Structure 1
Amino acid sequence: MLSDSIKSTIKDAATKLTDNRKRAFMAKVTEDYFEGSARKAETVLGWYRHSVQLGLHERQTGIVCVDNYQTRGRQS
């Protein structure tokens, strides 16, 4: 399917992105190389399937989900 060097390049690019940009990248790669299957992307690239699914959904609807990191963790 994909050579090891291509997998390495895709994984490296994904680690340099964050939040919705990362999900958009993951969704684009999944559509282009894995027929839109988040499960295949998870198996081949080791990505978290739910993040890929969210990225695919954001791409289809055009609505970007907002991450709310401020409310996570210990509340003071």
Structure 2
Amino acid sequence: MSELALILVVVIAVLAIRKLPELTRSAGKATRILKSEARALKDEDTPGSTPTAPRVVPGTVVDRDDSPHRS
């Protein structure tokens, strides 16, 4: 049974090594996004800061009468 566990660990390690660069890149990107959002939130909450214009997000208006009704 221990031989099977050892083989399983080796297989997982080999597969994980192939994905490691992708995982580290994703973790780095997530960290940068989190830091920038935290910084923006902190700057937004700082008293005495100049008010900024609201962000305008383009979108599409959806008429609720055309949407399918849930039952």
TM range (shorter): under 0.3
Compare relative contact order (CA 8 Å, sep 6+) and give the higher one, 1 or 2: 1
Q: Computing the radius of gyration over CA atoms, which structure comes out larger, 1 or 2?
A: 2
TM-score w.r.t. the length of structure 2 is 0.27
